[in-house]
A and B are shown apart, each in its own frame.
Chain A
Amino acid sequence: MGKTASAVVGAPIEGRSPSRMAWDRLKNDRTAKISAITVGFIFLLALAAPIFTWIIHTTPDQFHPETLDPTFGTNPVGKLGGISSQHWFGVEPRTGRDVFLRFAYGARTSLSIALSATALATIIGVLVGLISGFFGKTVDLVLTRTMEIILAFPSILFALAITPVLENALEGWGVPTGNATRIPVMIVVLSMFGWPYIARIVRGQVISLREKEFVEAARSIGASRTHLVFKEILPNLWAPILVTVALNIPTMITSEAALTFLGAGVIDPTSDWGAMLLASVPFYSVDPTYTFIPGFGLFILVLAFNLLGDSVRDALDPRSSR
């Protein structure tokens, strides 16, 4: 990319394609770079989590009773929640489990759930938005009403409430409970409330594109509806979809953490940032480090994603900035 970009210097600005312009803007955006590096770093941490188990010689689930005050199991030995050369982020009260490893593995869980939910919500949202916007009439009416109804649900409350009920139903059909069920249920529940936002944006774009000349032209030469939707309209939507996805990821991360924090999320011993925060609540006063680490991690991750999303939006639609 760097080579071609340097070749462009001096050429008239009009010569660049919109996506190239967006990319160039993004590349010159310092905030975007820093936040992308931060996000990348956390991804790397998540991916490399198993490597750390090998370096530290323990696992995220391994108890370390020797790191706890024998009188008060709630207090790790040492300052700042038991931070030491062996336990970089300290240890968990009561168990002595390594907080750094739980943090790294927690990033895995949090990110994979949030990203899966975003992906699912995007697929549904784009499909529904396309269909609704392109076909209009009754189909549109039914779909927009559906979105309206979904948005009328108190999402966190409902997600919280439906998780045990869904699990109970699945249990009734012979599906065992546990994280193998809980995580897919969470992904479904999260995306259920995420897709209407995407669908609404796609729908709006499709409606404005539907009447554009190139679509009319394709229609006039007898292109099929599928062709029109997927070959003519969809390729013109990547910018708004990208922006929506970029801004949706942090929302999903926080929703996932909130759900877990409220107790309808990932089940121990599987680690998750929301679950770590939940587990830290009783100890916030005796061991604030343990609260601070997942909370701060979540803050940094969400902030980085938010900034990155803003930058992507600004790059793709410069008028929206400043």
Chain B
Amino acid sequence: MSLKKKAIAVVGAAALASATLLSVNAASAATTTFTTPVAPIKGAVKGGTVTILAQGDFEHLDPARNYVGGTLDFYRLFTRTLTQYRTVNGKTDLVPDVAADLGTTKDGGKTWTFKLRTNLKYEDGNKITCADMKYGVMRSYNDDILDGGPTYAKDFLANPTDYKGAYTEPGKDLPSVICSPKGDAITFKLAIPVPYFPYVTTFGAFSPIQKAKDTKQNYELRPISSGPYKIESYSRGKELVLVRNSQWDPKTDPVRWNYPDEYHVIMGADQNVIEQSLISDSGNAKTSVSFDTNIITNLSKVLNVAKYKDRLFNFDSAYNRYYAINVDTVKDLNVRKAIQCAVDFKSILLAAGGTSAGSYANSTIPKSIKAAYRNFNVCGRDVSKKPEAQIDQAKAFLAKATNPKTTLRLAYRDRGVEPLRAAALEQSLKAAGFTVIMDKYPSSDFYAPAAKRGAANEPDIIQTSWAFDWAAASGIVYALFDARTMTPEDAKSNQSRGDFADLQKLFAKADTSATAAQEKILGDIEQSLIVDKAAHVSVYFETSHYMAGSKVGGLQVDGGYSTLSVLGAYVKK
């Protein structure tokens, strides 16, 4: 099935992407429509400049290449997509954006038709057309040039003519995207039924692009706005300035507000500096907010302190940090169980900042995905109550091993606190009687080499993470545990290389099941993989703590992207 492909594409960006539907109404919401303009935010006033402090430049501003939580929220200020999330009063809904409805399907999700709004304009005054929507999809096929983004369009759409992309094959058509003769509706023909397709169309590949103004890989330097703001200047790595887009009509937009006159994104400050600036709340910082800076080191100074209560936003992130145990190299189940027992949840989470920075997890499927979540024990204990390593049990399992492997190669990325977390694991593994080879990978080059099968230095344990793109077990279990995604050389995102006959049978059953049943089966698969096969150890879910200056109002946690949204931001008078 084609989900496999999606998983591969996500691998490289998984750590960056943070798009979750934690509080979004389930796919049934597709039947409701929200075409009316968004209600004003109480107390909000127009004017002023909201400053966004960023540690670095945007990875990509090209809609097709954007796959990063904070940016996915921010770029909506100048990018409209077919459908989009709207958050009002803490409640996030899926709404039609360029579309006029949330799409209809008559064949169980294989063909989707969206009505389009016909009165939308770009900043240059040109009308937004169905052809532009289609072109946006077509250029996203050229993910060699427009790299970095999610590849759902390419993965889900039927492609009988083996279309290669608008740049590679400029003259050729993509027959699976059809504009109605009047240009007021767009139809997508998919390779498989995708019941949650209206969620997929929130991504940037489903945004309008004028072919005449497409500058390919340079488009991200100056994307043409369809939203309430447009880019006035963009100095890479330094500053981006957004000003009002007069062509945008608030009456047509169910998602966005437009309170400040300008948004300034100031890039290049360090994590700690942004933390300190926002906490100190002096000068410019009063009207500032950061969308890529989780308060980590100074958290103890601000969390649960009344003074900061109104400007500190705490919410669950989509990130699950876990360890994959390579079943190719660690063949003995008892050795894997020994490893599992030796994982010291406590010191690993402490290295990341303690329970304020994350919550212990037995499973990579979060509790909020109720249909799939299972409350099982890992190494015979409730990890949230007893997070310490179970060294005695680990030793016992190791003693039982018929094929004992006591030297383990631990692969991890040289980024942020990851080396510290790896060191924490190293210590408890050593205590359990293992010898650990610490294998540090460069931050830029980790997922692919760690997934290489049969390599000389193939890791036994891989320290990695996952953030799902929609809140369903289908967005997790297929990508992480399905043996069919692997090739003999490449484990792709199935870092534990699990290929268990009983589980693969369950996968086959899940493929053909209806959503609810599918979710249940996928939950079973994960439980078995962790409890019976001991091929996976989920350690914790991250908690986000974002901060804003005291003069910024209208910020809210966006359920669509699990991030602090700046769409409704305003400068308090």
Contact = CB atoms under 8 A, between A and B. Distances in A.
Interface of A: 61-63, 65, 68-75, 93-96, 268-269, 281-283, 285-286
Q: Which residue of B272, B303, B350, B356 has the most chain A CB atoms within 10 A of its CB atom? A: B350
Contacts of A283: 297
A74 B419 contact: no
Contact of B351 (A69, A94, A285): A94
B295 to A, nearest CB: 11
Given A95-B423, A286-B301, 4 more contacts: A63-B423, A69-B354, A71-B355, A285-B298
Contacts of A74: 296-297, 299-300, 353-354
A97 B438 CA distance: 18
B204 to A, nearest CB: 33
Interface in B340-391: 344, 346-347, 349-357, 388
A285 B279 CA distance: 12
Interface of B: 271-272, 276, 296-301, 303, 344, 346-347, 349-357, 388, 417, 419-420, 423-424, 427
Contacts of A285: 276, 297-298, 301
15 contacts: A63-B424, A68-B354, A69-B300, A71-B354, A71-B356, A72-B300, A72-B353, A72-B354, A73-B351, A73-B357, A95-B423, A95-B424, A268-B423, A281-B272, A282-B272
Contacts of A69: 300, 354
Contacts of B271: 282
Contacts of A70: 346, 350, 354-355
Contacts of B353: 72-74, 94
A279 B419 CA distance: 12
B300 A75 contact: yes
Complex A-B, nearest 6 residue pairs according to Cβ-Cβ distance, in ascending order? A73-B354, A73-B350, A72-B300, A65-B347, A282-B297, A73-B353
Contacts, number: 78
Contacts of A62: 427
Q: Which residue of A72, A269, A281, A282 has the most chain B CB atoms within 10 A of its CB atom? A: A72
B interface, over-half SS: helix
B300 A286 contact: yes
Contacts of B423: 61, 63, 95, 268-269
A181 to B, nearest CB: 13
Nearest to B423: A269
A73 B349 contact: yes
Nearest to A74: B297
Contacts of B354: 68-74
B346 A65 contact: yes
Contacts of A286: 297-298, 300-301
Contacts of A282: 271-272, 296-297
A63 B300 contact: no
B297 A65 contact: no
A70 B359 CA distance: 11
B386 to A, nearest CB: 13
A65 B428 CA distance: 11
Nearest to A65: B347
B355 A95 contact: no
Nearest to A92: B420
Contacts of B276: 285
A282 B353 CA distance: 12
Nearest to A69: B354
Contacts of A269: 423
